[in-house]
Structure 1
Amino acid sequence: MKYSYKFSNLLGTFYRSGNLTFTPDGNSLISPVGNRLSVFHLKNNRAETLPWATRCNITCVALTPDGSLGIVVDEEGSALLISIVTKAVLNTFNFQQPVNAVSFSPDGKKFLVCKGSVVLMYHAPGKRREFNAFVLEKSYFGPVDDTMCVDWTDDSKCFAVGSKDMTTWVFSAEPLENAARFSIGGHKEAIVSCFFKDNSLDLYSICGAGTIRIWKSNFELTDLRPRKPRKERPLNEMDVENGEKIRGSVKEEDDDSEKLYYNSNGKHHLNKAGDFTMLTAAAFHKKLRILVSGFANGTFHIHELPDVNLIHSLSISGQSISSITINSTGDWISFGSSGLGQLLVWEWQSESYILKQQGHFNNMVALSYSPDGQHIATGGNDGKVKVWDTTSGFCFVTFTNHTSGITAVAFTSNGQVLVSSSLDGTVRAYSLLRYRNFRTFTSPRLTQFSCLAVDGSGDLVCAGAQDAFEVYVWSMQTGKLLDVLAGHEGPVSSVAFNPWKSVLATASWDRTVRLWHMTDSWRTTETLSITAEALAVTFRPDGRELAVASLDGQITMWDSEKGIQTGSIEGRHDLQMGRKETDKITAKHSAKGKAFTSLCYSADGNALLAGGASRFVCIYHVREQLLAKKFEISCNYSLDGMEEFLDRRKMTEFGSLALVDEGSGVALSLPGVRLGDMSSRHFKPEIHVTSLRFSPTGRCWAATSTEGLLIYSLDSSLMFDPFQLDEEVTAGSVHRTLRKGEWTLALLMAMKLNEQRLLQETLESVPYTDIKVLCSALPESYIERLLVFLAAQIESSRHLQFYLIWAHELLMQHGQKLKARSVSLMPAIHSLQKSIQSHFTELSKLCDWNRYNMRFAICLSKQRGVKRLPEERDSDMDSEVESMADSSKEEEIE
């Protein structure tokens, strides 16, 4: 069992705060999601999250004109210099203050930072041979309030800055004869955006009231000239100061040069008549002269400048639009709404969506992997069930049938049915073939379901109630209630089916775990006593062992057949709880009352994954009962519960500043309220892990947390994992054996080295006619490793048929032997199935599309050039009239 899992992707969160940015080619969109950065490849239909993270939520993102570097700034003013190509952090810097906007110059030599009422101009990294990546060149003063937006001219000589003090300032980035700085007013609200015209100094300024002003400059860009050095002349007798002659020389002043100034050239209102909605975001495309403005009610307008003609208007969200950006070609417009976490990409010419994604409005609370590991289902407190594609990272179906929060989701064994339980008192089954709710299971009396389980055959559905202390069993085929399992004396917290037997385990707050035999009159076969309230129960993949997490922080392992305890893990100290802002006790004392709330065995059953109300997820070795590795799922200090120690800077003689609502904006929560007060203006969510699942392939695991759906996977390309290695096995000996044509020996030696490139070269050197003979001569101990490698190659390689022949021959030659240890081989088989299924779904759509197009073309070719006789046309008309008459008669009879 390998524990080198690395962060792979973040699903379920598409936009939180900050500005959206398109890459220079216009095909990818970069969106800040909390303290991470996600890249959405719109043409490839794929999403990825960069592996690094900032300390707090990201507020500003800026890319260089060539798209190779980027600057990311968080809420506290800490900046990261990142490489978009290598996805690595190159340098760090702290601006010591929140930053409102960052923008690179069009020539890529400088960038501006709007910090407070000051605008700072830095040399762009990579353009100068200096060790320091952030070199301050000049500071610009003028506004009396925070600077909010910035825009450059096309020649990078001047820039405009919009401020909260309702003024727009124009500064020169270089020493120029004509330009220095100029202040523009005329607005009644804070400036939201300001833009220069294409190849011009003319300016547009937009305020929060939805008013746009057009400003005409007295200069053109070509009229701006660099400032010449002032000439010095010798002193004469007239140069006298206080009756004494000045020594040296005097610089001649150039007062004849005309300075830059602006005149108002028009004022327009972007709102509709009688609409006083505040404008929250705007974007302008200089080449097409298209202005897109977003408002607080979720609507946006597209205007053509400078005439301000309305082209299009649409309502896309129920919340305020936080950010707008346009790609380089001007075809796609992206919108971000922080209230709903919504991200949209709109093609305005065809009026169609390129991307429309939204995560759960509240926290995710449950997740489940499909049997092939290709899909993940999640349930949230908003009552929605979403299904995600692990390859692309997008949600492709959302079910909104529940009226209250989801508590659990589960797939059936064939992966075609998804079942969910909710606090609204229903359990619903969804078909993933028709994407509809085809079964609704209810109880005799209204109750809230807290947990859910589906047996291996998919015929039985069980759900536990948290107020009736009972477990309900339904039939998937008929939808009828089969039985009510009573016996618990407390709320049922978790239920789980044995994967290989019809045995149900139910955990309750009455400190017991009961095992029910489903085929023997629903009787209780065993009652296991726990030292504290049971919170979670799960079976090992082979069904011979089950693990129970209790409220005292312990994890106990039991033999499911004999009812004997086989081990125990003390996990309270491994949780490592954080300290809330309003806590009056330390994090060490706070962790004493916490426990694991979610458990999951690994695909091979050797490891146990555990998580709870903490930012850490622990992996334990089951046999040794030791902590193997601890994963920190978040380092975002914008969330509550992250601090480990008391911050003395927030302490006063009257207590912590967090206890004062007016001073820090932290709302004091009511007793027993875990999620916080949703009605308060300032809401700081708490970090916790609600659900954990291992992928059936064994290559990755997923966790639902406050930040979203986190996926951690093994990166086999960066790992050296030799197998039965000796001194004679080297890369050179493998190449020599290949040249001799000894394919079996070369393959065995390459698999002992277990290097991906060498093994790929060896397999592709084997003639396809010899694959059958080579597979029959392969030892059984190498089959599992080769199947895992073939699954990865089928997913990524272009030699699809070649590797499919390898997989087919391996399974045909060794299928009977592999059945004896099918449990240990299931992760490899699931990984192979996932790779084949992903190719099947892609190719089947393309083949169906081509087949239907060919049929349509054949039908058109048959009809073209065929002349119909008048008698045939009359007969067709008569038949249509008769059919219409018959239908009208049937309607009258009804």
Structure 2
Amino acid sequence: MKFAYRFSNLLGTVYRRGNLNFTCDGNSVISPVGNRVTIFDLKNNKSDTLPLATRYNIKCVGLSPDGRLAIIVDEGGAALLVSLVCRSVLHHYHFKGSVHSVSFSPDGRKFVITKGNLAQMYHAPGKKREFNAFVLDKTYFGPYDETTCIDWTDDSRCFVVGSKDMSTWVFGAERWDNLIYYALGGHKDAIVACFFESNSLDLYSLSQDGALCVWQCDTPPEGLRLKAPTGWKADLLQREEAQEEEEEEEGQREITIRGKATPAEEEKKGKVKYSRLAKYFFNKEGDFNSVTAAAYHKKIRLLVTGFASGIFHLHELPEFNLIHSLSISDQRITSVAINSSGDWIAFGCSGLGQLLVWEWQSESYVLKQQGHFNSMVSLAYSPDGQYIVTGGDDGKVKVWNTLSGFCFITFTEHSSGVTGVAFTATGFVIVTSSLDGTVRAFDLHRYRNFRTFTSPRPTQFSCVAVDSSGEIISAGAQDSFEIFVWSMQTGRLLDVLSGHEGPISGLCFNPMKSILASASWDKTVRLWDMFDSWRTKETLTLTSDALAVTFRPDGAELAVATLNSQITFWDPENAIQTGSIEGRHDLKTGRKELDKITAKHSAKGKAFTTLCYSADGQSILAGGMSRFVCLYHVREQILVKRFELSCNLSLDAMEEFLNRRKMTEFGNLALIDQDAGEEDGVAIPLPGVKKGDMSSRHFKPEIRVTSLRFSPTGRCWAATSTEGLLIFSLDAQMLFDPYELDTSITPGRVREALHQQEFTRAILMAFRLNEKKLVQEVLEAVPREDIEVVSASLPELYVEKALEFLASSFEVSRHLEFYLIWTQKLLMSHGQKLKPSAGRLLPAIQFLQKSLQRHLDDLAKLCDWNRYNLRYALAISKQQGVKRPLDLPGVEDDGEASDEDSLNLLGGAGDEPTATAAPDCLG
């Protein structure tokens, strides 16, 4: 149970590709991020990634009208039927081909997918248990090229499909007599979107070249007639009608066959016909400004169009009046969605990974998020575990809130890739190193770069470390093989430590002493004493190049990852190796698409590149050029658990064996395509591109783990990878983890003890049963005046469990004062007794501090807001000379009050206002 970490959330990736959807209440956006789906709650300012994943990148998502079900289809055509209520997969299905779009009918009974040049209609899954959730009803043919978009009528009787062959096809969902299919032309480019008018068969079609056609239908939806059945169905209906005629003796009723009109009426009514009323053109500026995405709100008749240049337009239909136009990006807009009320519009840009929600009436952003454009390189937790800072190859430094999952500030001062990030002990300063030759310090109070550290000669910094006091900053160079040491207060360079004969790959300060450990490619780890004239204290000789180094939280052990896939453990006091772990077989690297050797042989060149101790120091996490993260027990030196970060086959180096579908008579198909672009055995890169995998014509990012960190609370850990920033946490709600349980402890016995007011015995029994709801029920049943006596009578063994429960309750409960009293009485009663086990209790205390800090920040913002409103009201009342109606302390008879007294009422006048987060996190 201790290592039952499960995937919790995905940060740093807000949109990859596919279509965006709003939930039925219009308050949340559903965004596909790679092979996962993230729900952004705009009302509560929180993001949540569903605990499911597809085999390839998600291409389209279809949402049911009631918002309970979703169909998620990946690039390979595999589909997942997902319940958004219980967040689980209900059914797997394969459409046997690449699906472009999927759409439910408004009544929720059917859904249509477009695949190739045809459309297929399926019966939607119902609320009852079914053996096969997807049943194919009908296949529609007509377009000659790939289909692109779908839209339904409000009564679910017909649907329209757009195609790349510049035609729009209207199909009947039932066997209508006067509408089987109808083809509409008039465009000169591929159809991007097509929409029905509300409660009508009139429709709009929009093509890629910026042409909008308005089509009018001469028949209302009620005018559609069902086709008469033939064959055995007709005979069966005639028999049923004969029986009904015999039973009914009241008058002669009109002869109808299942809603079909009589032959006389049928002759009068003809087939459904469409006519083009108008054709409008957008102001285009060349081919680069073609229409790429569109959405239409039927109730308010609002058309939103996104262009390849990053501009979007708002038009009112059918008059085609331009309401608004704005440029939101320099990349093409990939997807557009409007919420149910028509107030918010969501835009997705796959080129930069941007997700924006725009409120068009107030012309303001509701959400504006973007991950790192290139891969994340490093991460660090704040001391209370509330924030995570990440640095990427794009030179940006982003700070994420672990509770909401949003980035609230982006620093763009670096001009090259960020190689290392670190928090100081206070948690309000971030120190970063970069390849641009600078080490910068950022202030989280005022969101500014207040220190810039440089070296005498230009050099590229590969790592950074901050000591426990936050006064000394050190950074390692990868070209001059030196370590630079600065003072945080003065910003001056204190010393340059030389002695390594290779690039510096890692730095780490001892948490308890002023000792710096530096790892290098010269097969050594050097320990530097910061107080002893900056001299080398010890030199640890390794068998291979050192790639990462880290201290245990108590500073009594040192772990080093080397190029030969080993993790060695050292005693830093005596410079003695205490153990080693062979991790080559645990890393399990995959075979790349262009590899000519097997995954087993390619793993010989792979190694762990990042290490991290757990909060209690008993375990260590290791990751590298693989999709796996290994958790080892340090003392036993065994593999405890291996976590798979991704199963996305759209990434490279994921498959262990060669895919037989890519094998031809000439060998691997990928190698044939690669060799076709070579001249004399030299691959031809794209012009102007010199670095990395992006230089090849076929770009497929390789899965890798660049950094790992445990949260100070010990309840979760984070990893930066090709997929983004993944967070794994202990899901206590899904686990039954009793403690010293016997047959006499039952929920009934616990409630019986509560009824007899034996609170201490009830609490002990509830903690031994370890059910969260039962513990909450027992604690909240204790009267407020008895809390001090009950907390003092608890054994020390149960105090840690009580503190962990209180810390988790602060995140969800509204009984803030009640739980604060419990926390105060526990710490006051057992504070001295718990000092010997402070190391074991540290994660629980930090978890508690994180929860309290969050409430403090929220209340501080509220108090500041009230203070500024009162100050504004005072100033307005003084200007107008009106006597203030508020009866506040310090108010005199003449209507004037002292500002100090008014401010002391809500939060105190001397408190510094809490800085609010900048809404623009795109950088």
Query: Per the shorter chain, which TM-score range?
Result: over 0.9
Indicate the residue corresponding to 1:242 in structure 2.
none
Query: Are the aligned partners of 1:368 and 1:376 in contact in 2 as well (CA < 8 Å)?
Result: yes
Counterpart Cα distance in 1 of 2:83 and 2:741: 38
Counterpart Cα distance in 1 of 2:882 and 2:435: 64
Query: Are the aligned partners of 2:685 and 2:695 in contact in 1 as well (CA < 8 Å)?
Result: no
String of CA shifts for 1:420-457, please: whole Å, max 9, x gaps.
00001100000000000000000111111111100000
Indicate the residue corresponding to 2:774 in structure 1.
758
Counterpart Cα distance in 2 of 1:382 and 1:748: 53
String of CA shifts for 1:810-838, please: whole Å, max 9, x gaps.
11222223333322221111100100011
Indicate the residue corresponding to 1:778 in structure 2.
794
Counterpart Cα distance in 1 of 2:167 and 2:222: 26
Query: Are the aligned partners of 2:545 and 2:562 in contact in 1 as well (CA < 8 Å)?
Result: yes
- TM-score normalised according to structure 2 size: 0.89
After TM superposition, give the deviation of residue 257 of structure 1 in Å. Answer: 4.0
Counterpart Cα distance in 1 of 2:790 and 2:443: 43
String of CA shifts for 1:871-893, please: whole Å, max 9, x gaps.
xxxxxxxxxxxxxxxxxxxxxxx
Residue 784 of structure 2, aligned match among 760, 768, 771: 768
After TM superposition, give the deviation of residue 304 of structure 1 in Å. Answer: 0.7
Indicate the residue corresponding to 1:886 in structure 2.
none
Within-5 A mapping of 1:159-174:
159-174=159-174
Indicate the residue corresponding to 1:655 in structure 2.
667
Asked whether 1:182 is paired with 2:182, we answer yes
String of CA shifts for 1:627-664, please: whole Å, max 9, x gaps.
00000000000000001001222122332110133799
Residue 506 of structure 1, aligned match among 491, 494, 518: 518
- For the structure 1 residues 295 and 831, does the alpha-carbon distance in structure 2 shift closer, same or farther, using more than 3 Å as the test? same
Within-5 A mapping of 1:258-407:
258-272=270-284, 277-407=289-419
Residue 871 of structure 2, aligned match among 855, 872, 893: 855
2:748 partner SS: helix
Indicate the residue corresponding to 1:138 in structure 2.
138
After TM superposition, give the deviation of residue 276 of structure 1 in Å. Answer: 6.2
1:817 partner SS: coil
2:144 partner SS: coil
Indicate the residue corresponding to 2:858 in structure 1.
842
Indicate the residue corresponding to 1:890 in structure 2.
none
After TM superposition, give the deviation of residue 360 of structure 1 in Å. Answer: 0.3
Indicate the residue corresponding to 2:887 in structure 1.
none
Counterpart Cα distance in 1 of 2:398 and 2:177: 61
String of CA shifts for 1:228-277, please: whole Å, max 9, x gaps.
446999xxxxxxxxxxxxxxxxx999666411121111111122477861
1:660 partner SS: helix
2:843 partner SS: helix
Residue 584 of structure 1, aligned match among 588, 591, 596: 596
Counterpart Cα distance in 1 of 2:348 and 2:305: 12
Indicate the residue corresponding to 1:571 in structure 2.
583
Structure 2 unaligned residues grouped into runs of 5+: 236-261, 884-923
Residue 706 of structure 1, aligned match among 715, 718, 722: 722
Counterpart Cα distance in 1 of 2:531 and 2:651: 48
Asked whether 1:12 is paired with 2:12, we answer yes
2:189 partner SS: coil
Query: Are the aligned partners of 1:447 and 1:468 in contact in 2 as well (CA < 8 Å)?
Result: yes
After TM superposition, give the deviation of residue 843 of structure 1 in Å. Answer: 1.6
2:272 partner SS: coil
1:838 partner SS: helix
After TM superposition, give the deviation of residue 484 of structure 1 in Å. Answer: 0.6
Counterpart Cα distance in 2 of 1:420 and 1:138: 59
Counterpart Cα distance in 1 of 2:685 and 2:283: 41
After TM superposition, give the deviation of residue 753 of structure 1 in Å. Answer: 1.9
- TM-score normalised according to structure 1 size: 0.92
Structure 1 window deviating more from structure 2 (453-462 vs 676-685): it is: 676-685
Counterpart Cα distance in 2 of 1:669 and 1:738: 77
Counterpart Cα distance in 1 of 2:464 and 2:440: 11
Structure 1 window deviating more from structure 2 (169-178 vs 471-480): it is: 169-178
Residue 733 of structure 2, aligned match among 703, 709, 717: 717
Query: Are the aligned partners of 1:271 and 1:277 in contact in 2 as well (CA < 8 Å)?
Result: no
Counterpart Cα distance in 2 of 1:663 and 1:592: 25
Counterpart Cα distance in 1 of 2:814 and 2:463: 43
Indicate the residue corresponding to 1:732 in structure 2.
748
Query: Are the aligned partners of 1:24 and 1:65 in contact in 2 as well (CA < 8 Å)?
Result: yes
Indicate the residue corresponding to 2:907 in structure 1.
none
Counterpart Cα distance in 2 of 1:562 and 1:162: 74
Query: Are the aligned partners of 1:154 and 1:198 in contact in 2 as well (CA < 8 Å)?
Result: yes
Indicate the residue corresponding to 1:103 in structure 2.
103
Q: Which amino acid aligns with 2:349?
A: S
Query: Are the aligned partners of 2:288 and 2:309 in contact in 1 as well (CA < 8 Å)?
Result: no
Query: Are the aligned partners of 2:421 and 2:433 in contact in 1 as well (CA < 8 Å)?
Result: yes
- For the structure 1 residues 784 and 283, does the alpha-carbon distance in structure 2 shift closer, same or farther, using more than 3 Å as the test? same
Asked whether 1:818 is paired with 2:830, we answer no
Q: Which amino acid aligns with 1:432?
A: L
2:828 partner SS: helix
Q: What percentage of aligned pairs have identical amino acids?
A: 66
Query: Are the aligned partners of 2:284 and 2:290 in contact in 1 as well (CA < 8 Å)?
Result: no
Query: Are the aligned partners of 1:125 and 1:134 in contact in 2 as well (CA < 8 Å)?
Result: yes
Indicate the residue corresponding to 1:489 in structure 2.
501
2:436 partner SS: coil
Structure 1 window deviating more from structure 2 (473-482 vs 198-207): it is: 198-207
Residue 430 of structure 1, aligned match among 442, 449, 459: 442
String of CA shifts for 1:667-721, please: whole Å, max 9, x gaps.
96979x9984425553210000000000000000000000100000001122222
Indicate the residue corresponding to 1:57 in structure 2.
57
Within-5 A mapping of 1:211-230:
211-229=211-229
Asked whether 1:792 is paired with 2:804, we answer no
After TM superposition, give the deviation of residue 531 of structure 1 in Å. Answer: 0.8
Residue 609 of structure 1, aligned match among 596, 602, 621: 621
Counterpart Cα distance in 1 of 2:685 and 2:590: 20
After TM superposition, give the deviation of residue 852 of structure 1 in Å. Answer: 2.2
Residue 476 of structure 1, aligned match among 488, 496, 506: 488
Counterpart Cα distance in 2 of 1:371 and 1:732: 41
Counterpart Cα distance in 1 of 2:676 and 2:307: 28
Counterpart Cα distance in 2 of 1:823 and 1:373: 17
Indicate the residue corresponding to 1:877 in structure 2.
none
Query: Are the aligned partners of 1:177 and 1:257 in contact in 2 as well (CA < 8 Å)?
Result: no
Indicate the residue corresponding to 1:236 in structure 2.
none
Indicate the residue corresponding to 1:240 in structure 2.
none
1:325 partner SS: strand
Residue 541 of structure 2, aligned match among 529, 554, 558: 529
After TM superposition, give the deviation of residue 732 of structure 1 in Å. Answer: 2.5
- For the structure 1 residues 664 and 633, does the alpha-carbon distance in structure 2 shift closer, same or farther, using more than 3 Å as the test? farther
Q: Which amino acid aligns with 2:716?
A: C
String of CA shifts for 1:99-144, please: whole Å, max 9, x gaps.
0110011111110010101100000101677421100111100001
Counterpart Cα distance in 2 of 1:173 and 1:662: 46
- For the structure 1 residues 440 and 577, does the alpha-carbon distance in structure 2 shift closer, same or farther, using more than 3 Å as the test? same
Asked whether 1:685 is paired with 2:701, we answer yes
1:841 partner SS: helix
Query: Are the aligned partners of 1:403 and 1:424 in contact in 2 as well (CA < 8 Å)?
Result: yes
After TM superposition, give the deviation of residue 354 of structure 1 in Å. Answer: 0.3
Counterpart Cα distance in 2 of 1:127 and 1:164: 36
After TM superposition, give the deviation of residue 860 of structure 1 in Å. Answer: 3.5
Query: Are the aligned partners of 2:806 and 2:848 in contact in 1 as well (CA < 8 Å)?
Result: yes
Structure 1 window deviating more from structure 2 (473-482 vs 272-281): it is: 272-281
Counterpart Cα distance in 2 of 1:545 and 1:604: 12
1:456 partner SS: coil
Query: Are the aligned partners of 2:693 and 2:701 in contact in 1 as well (CA < 8 Å)?
Result: no
- For the structure 1 residues 387 and 273, does the alpha-carbon distance in structure 2 shift closer, same or farther, using more than 3 Å as the test? closer
Counterpart Cα distance in 2 of 1:420 and 1:866: 54
String of CA shifts for 1:539-591, please: whole Å, max 9, x gaps.
00000001000000000011111111111100111000000000000001111
Q: Which amino acid aligns with 1:850?
A: N
Aligned-CA RMSD value: 2.1
Query: Are the aligned partners of 2:148 and 2:191 in contact in 1 as well (CA < 8 Å)?
Result: yes
Counterpart Cα distance in 1 of 2:89 and 2:873: 54
Structure 1 window deviating more from structure 2 (387-396 vs 555-564): it is: 555-564
Counterpart Cα distance in 2 of 1:207 and 1:594: 49
